[in-house]
Structure 1
Amino acid sequence: MLTLRRLLAAHEEAIIETGTAWVREVAAVDLAGRPASETRALVAESVRTYAALLLAGDPRPRDAFIERVTTLRSNLRFRISTLLRGFFAFHRALEPILARDSVPHQLAFDILRRVDAACFEAAFLTADTYARKLHEVVDTAQRELLRREKLAALGGLVAGVAHEINTPLGVAITAVSLMQDCVDELSHAFAAGGLRQRDLRDGLARAGEAGGMALGNLQRAAGLVTGFKQLAVDQSSESRRRVALGPHLCELVASLAPLYRRGPHRVDVDVRAAVLVDTYPGALAQIVTNLLQNALVHAFPEGHVGTVTLSIARADDGRVELGCADDGVGIPPRLLRRIYEPFFTTARGSGGSGLGLHIVHNLVTELLCGTIDTESEPGRGARFTIRFPADPGA
């Protein structure tokens, strides 16, 4: 490698300049908006990594350079071919110098063969490292989108439950006020000495009715708060706990009443089997919420009134089967194969994010270790069937 050492010492600047010009030319799409000085600095560093590897057998500068340049580019719109060309620039710049310096053909061939081997090895390492970092970027983005979707769903439920709680609390306040009026009337009559037995009996009866009405509505409000509290805890965490799936689904659908109660559609629950599962209630809550929202938004266009049925059963293979079926307009075949794609939606103008079913698919397949199947025909509704083990991850 004495010849290569001599060539690098004599022509390093020329190699860097030629390599920079070639990379800027062949990767113009990625580099048009980047300063030439940046490209030159990276090419110069790659030349030094080759010198360390080929002349001293030290791969550490190359590995450090690959780590740095892939990190630098992983958050930008950069094609992997641009990164790889940065390593092949050394060969492209060295070849004319070998010819110009009249290096013997066999020696020049041996030098370029060793350079090519180093280029390919660096290219493979770069591709693997860059792909890994891009996956990390995508995974981070998906986790953030999932977190935001959870918070958005929870925020919607907060508003809906607040509206639901206002009704029983308002009735309870009215009933308590009525009871207070009855007590005041009896107190005044007693103080005036004109309290008759009939007045006492009627007043106590009205006060009792008002008290019963207040108690019933306060209990209803307390039930809503308790159910929502458990739902809020479940949706904001991924802890596992043991639940009776049928009653849990009924409670969940009741807590989701603000999504459908003010509309014309009906939501039914069909529990065909008593199923006890050790699972993630938060994931189940989000799955049911997204499936129900998806049906209410997409299955029933204006003027079409329908029913959504959520069901619990045991599959033939012993797994739990959670179904969501509607009698709506159905899903066209051309859209059916795309419904789980992230950001794909046919209701963009109506607030659809295209993430609901994508999140459902991820939760079912990754967290619950299950499967999800979809059946639909235009005009005959759609059915989503989720099957998962009663003890995911066991």
Structure 2
Amino acid sequence: MSQLPISAPLQATLDKIIKLTNSDRYEAFTYCEAGFAAARAAHDDAAFIAIAIQYGLVIDQHGYPDESINILYEALQLAQSYHHFHDEARLLNVIGRAVYTRAEYRRAMQAWAHCLEVATLADDQVSWVWAKLGIAQIYDALDDHATAVILLQQAQERAVYLHDPILLLNVLLNLGVNLFQERQFEAALQTYHESLALARELNHLDDIGETLFRIAQLLLEQGQITEALDHLGQAQQICEQSHHMWALANIYGVRAQIYQVQNQISQALLDVQHGIDYASASGSAHIEMRLRLLQSQLAEQNHDAELTLAAFRAANVLNSKISPHDHRQQLAELEDLAGLRPSSGRILLELANNPLLERCSLAELAAMLCNAAGQIIRQVRASYWEYLPDQQALRKVHPQLDVNIETFNPPLLQSLQRGETIVAHNAQHHQYTWSLYERLLLPEKLQSVLMIPLRLNESLYGVLQVGYAEKTKNWSTDEVQYMNQLAMIGTRALANIERHIFQADIARLNAQLQQNNNELEARVVERTIELQKAMEHLIETEKLASLGNLVAGFAHELNTPLGNTLTAATTLLDKNRNLLETINAGVMKKTILLQYLDETSMIAELVERNARRASNLIANLKQVAVDTASSKRRQFNLHQVIEETVATLIVSLKKRKVNVFNEVPDDIELNSYPGSLEQIISNFINNSLIHGFSLDANGEIHISAQQINDEQIELSYWDTGVGIAESIKKRVFDPFFTTRFGQGGSGLGLYLVYSLVTGTLGGGIELRDRPAGGVWFVLRLPIVAPAEPSQEFDLLRH
């Protein structure tokens, strides 16, 4: 999608922010705050997004507070709503940087991993390298400097190729840090000097100051105290000018280490306290933790037991915050094992296998979906809305209100109709939800919402809305994924509801037909035209009923591989989370990684097998459903069409002891109407199962064919069932004739077969006697069907 233009006044503000980002972050921050207010007032979404990207680079001086990160998510949802993948990738990168600085490494990894995907989609190589750089920083924070060096060297090659000096500067600076940690001092110093030259060329004061203190840190390690102090002095002056706070925290920390070496403990304690103040103000928890540990050491040397203990405790508190162990997740796992509160995966799995989904009402389904959403994401309010296509509106089904029909704005409705999930971190300013905010969301105090569409056959049927009250919530990738999985389960139940409604309509129609049969026979001649119209409608209804049963059967069959895939995916998520915890804890071992690879390989194989099984089922369903629902003519292999048709009836056949044998040769090709032929075979098999065999009887069905001449084939269908009584053989092809009126039989099955054979396919059909018992139909079909299939029905064929 093309980029939206930025208004001239806001473009001037943006230019000012860009100029100040690397020279005076405090002033840049002030301009950002004013820019956001002006962009909102002018509804200039492009300006809001562009300012937010710069905002992510300057808010480190304010400690990356929640409200600042919320603004980044608000801009992200705007970029996503406009499908601006380039801006989305850049925002994901600064979000990753923000949460990384707060030592929230799991969220940072998620943001940068998503950035890699979006950058690839947008062909944005620069953002891709920034994400690689961010991931390398996580390895650095977790003390895996060797891996960080490898990633950064790869990023360096790409940055050189892209001729992007800002990107190359950041890569070189981080590469120097990790080379220093790997004690490759000469390579680190050379890399620092390259980054310093680039920073001076770009006039990036913050990067100049940071590089100088990094060089001072290296000089200190090599014992060059005087040179180190000189570099620190230059770095401090530049960083104070540019308000580079976390760099100042490091500068004071390095200087404190120098005073410690010189045994000037009192001065060292003063400097380390300055560093702690700067680290705390900038929200750099990992830097503050290191400085607290240094403070504890210095206090111990100074024989200050109280400060020693206080600093050590403060360092441990910070370490527990930085630690990747998610105690809430561990608690959830224990609750799951103890049966107190199931995990999200278990909730979804149990709901997917709940037998109530096969026969529930819409209101019951809505209640189950909303209840499950509340269990998966705590403290959310869920509601279900039914789509009313005639009114282009939605009706709240659960929880019900006195006035529960609402009209959504056209862009939101169109997005839901396309099947797009609406992720509104800030519902008041989201492109699609802001118009609903005061009317629907504010009365319930909802600040953040997810809207997940439920669709059948590409049509919108309903919307699951999940809201968070009181404050803004930045929805995680896992939460969005869980809600989409919940909507998939709801879609399956909606298909069952539609099927039951359809079957009830058919039963009601059958009852009406039985009631009026005598009257229709007396008036059949004078009502031929009207009856012909009704007949056409009923035949289409029979086709749709058959297609509906086909889809319902496949939904049953797909449940097993999809359920297995869901279970495997949930297990894989847990394995990934455990591995990340191991990495973040710094206890990663080769044996653990090998075990993880073995286990995830097995899980991947399980997912692949079940996905392939589901894919094959869906491929058969797609071909048969398309052919059955349409009257398109095409070239096809007769054996293959018979095989696919039998496969669609697998659910009915699995419940019976009847075997179907496809004995059609592989080399018979027809240019005809496969949908009509599939309908004929389906009706034959269903008639055999209903009339020919009892529920527990063993039996066989055989389908064979032979080519008679260059123009015709003969197709035979016979079974070993009870057959057809002699007294009714002459009437089997009559419309409305059935031995099961009032018991689900419409009397149109074999009439439809006769009409399709003699009309659409241009052939003939005969019921023959079979000495061994059972039923035997023989069809003579042209190899090339007539160009214009007949649309007339022989209503008075007696």
- Shorter-chain TM-score tier: 0.5 to 0.7
Determine the C-alpha separation between the residues in 1 that align with 2:729 and 2:522.
31
Q: Partner residue of 1:392?
A: 785
Q: Provide the residue aligned with 1:381 in structure 2.
A: 774
In the other structure, the counterpart of 2:673 is 280
CA distance in 2, matches of 1:78, 1:386: 29
Measured after TM superposition, the shift of residue 182 of structure 1 is 2.4
Q: 1:171 to 1:376 in 2, by over 3 A?
A: farther
Aligned to 2:614: 221
Q: Distance in 2 between matches of 1:265 and 1:194?
A: 59
TM-score by length of 2: 0.32
1:300 and 2:677 matched: no
8 Å Cα contact 1:330/1:376 also seen in 2: no
How far apart, CA to CA, are the structure 2 residues paired with 1:253 and 1:215?
Answer: 25
Q: Aligned residue for 1:203?
A: 596
**1:171 aligned residue (564, 567, 571):** 564
Q: Confirm whether residue 367 of structure 1 aligns to residue 783 of structure 2.
A: no
Deviation at 1:318, TM superposition (A): 4.7
* Shift in Å, 1:193: 3.7
Once residues 735 and 689 of structure 2 are traced to their aligned partners in structure 1, the CA distance between those partners, rounded to angstroms, is 19
Deviation at 1:317, TM superposition (A): 6.8
Quick check: 1:260 aligned with 2:653?
Answer: yes
Offset of 1:389 from its aligned partner?
Answer: 0.5
Change (3 A) 1:216 1:78: closer
CA contact (8 A) 1:332 1:377 kept: no
1:209–1:376 Cα change, 3 Å: farther
Q: What SS is found at the alignment partner of 2:724? A: coil
In the TM superposition, residue 340 of structure 1 has moved relative to its aligned partner by: 1.1
User: Pick from 727, 737, 745: which aligns with 1:334?
Assistant: 727
Q: Given that residues 241 and 281 in structure 1 are in contact (C-alpha distance below 8 angstroms), is that contact kept between their aligned partners in structure 2?
A: yes
| C-alpha contact (below 8 Å) 1:333/1:377 kept by paired residues | no
Pick aligned residue for 2:528 from 135, 143, 146: 135
Shift of 1:299: 1.0
Structure 1 residues 339 and 77 mapped into 2: Cα distance closer, same or farther (>3 Å)? closer
**Structure 1 residue 385: deviation in Å?**
1.8
Residues 25-55 of structure 1: per-residue CA shift (max 9 Å, x gap): xxxxxxxxxxxxxxxxxxxxxxxxxxxxxxx
2:576 maps to a residue whose letter is V
Contact 1:169 1:218 in 2 (8 A): yes
Q: Distance in 2 between matches of 1:171 and 1:386?
A: 43
2:682 and 2:605 mapped to 1: Cα distance?
Answer: 34
Within-5 A mapping of 1:98-117: none
Q: Within 5 A, what are the aligned runs for 1:3-22? A: none
Q: Deviations over 1:43-92 (max 9, x none)?
A: xxxxxxxxxxxxxxxxxxxxxxxxxxxxxxxxx98989xxxxxxxxxxxx
Which segment is superposed worse, 134-143 or 296-305?
134-143
Q: Residue 363 of structure 1: SS of its match in structure 2? A: helix
Q: Which amino acid aligns with 1:204?
A: L
Aligned-pair identity (%): 35
- Work out whether residues 624 and 644 of structure 2, in 8 Å CA contact, stay in contact via their aligned partners in 1: no
Task: Provide, for residues 311-352 of structure 1, a one-character-per-residue CA deviation record: whole Å limited to 9, x for no partner.
Answer: 343235752233322111222222222211112222335412
Aligned partner of residue 345 in structure 1, secondary structure: coil
Count the aligned residue pairs.
269
- 8 Å CA contact 1:235–1:285 kept in 2: the answer is yes
Question: What's the counterpart of residue 45 of structure 1?
Answer: none
Q: What secondary structure sits across from 1:265 in the alignment?
A: strand
1:232 counterpart (625, 635, 659): 625
Please give the secondary structure, in 2, of the residue aligned with 1:220: helix
Q: Which of the pair has the greater relative contact order for Cα pairs under 8 Å at 6+ separation?
A: 1
**Deviation of residue 353 (structure 1)?**
1.5
3-state secondary structure, aligned to 1:346: coil
* Partner residue in 1 for 2:736: 343
Shift of 1:291: 0.8
Contact 2:716 2:776 in 1 (8 A): yes
Give the Å deviation of 1:359: 0.6
The letter for the 1-side match of 2:754 is: H
TM superposition shift of 1:377: 4.6
Q: Distance in 1 between matches of 2:772 and 2:716?
A: 19
Q: Report SS of the residue matched to 1:235.
A: helix
Shift in alpha-carbon separation, 1:375–1:198, aligned structure 2, 3 A: farther
In the other structure, the counterpart of 2:333 is: none
What SS does the aligned partner of 2:780 have?
strand
C-alpha separation in 2, matches of 1:261 and 1:358 = 27
- Please tell me whether the aligned partners of residues 269 and 310 of structure 1 are also in contact (alpha carbons under 8 angstroms): yes
Report the AA paired with residue 345 of structure 1: T
Q: CA deviation at 1:388?
A: 0.4
Matching residue within 178, 189, 192 for 2:582: 189
Provide the secondary structure at the position in 2 that maps to 1:337: helix
Distance 1:180 1:315 in 2: 60
Quote how far apart the aligned CAs of 1:254 are.
1.1
Q: How far is 1:278 from its partner?
A: 1.1
User: Counterpart of 1:238 in 2: which secondary structure?
Assistant: coil
Tell me the amino acid that sits aligned with residue 187 of structure 1: L
Q: What does 1:10-89 correspond to in 2, within 5 Å?
A: none
1:146 to 515, 535, 539: 539
Are the aligned partners of 1:330 and 1:379 in contact in 2 as well (CA < 8 Å)? no
Secondary structure at the counterpart of residue 703 of structure 2:
strand
TM-score, normalization by structure 1: 0.62
- Secondary structure at the aligned position of 1:335 is classed as helix
Q: Which runs of 5+ in 2 are unaligned?
A: 1-518, 788-798
Residue of structure 1 equivalent to 2:550: 157
Shift of 1:260: 1.6
- Counterpart secondary structure, 2:657: coil
Distance verdict in 2 for CA 1:273–1:219, change over 3 Å: closer
2:640: which partner in 1? Answer: 247
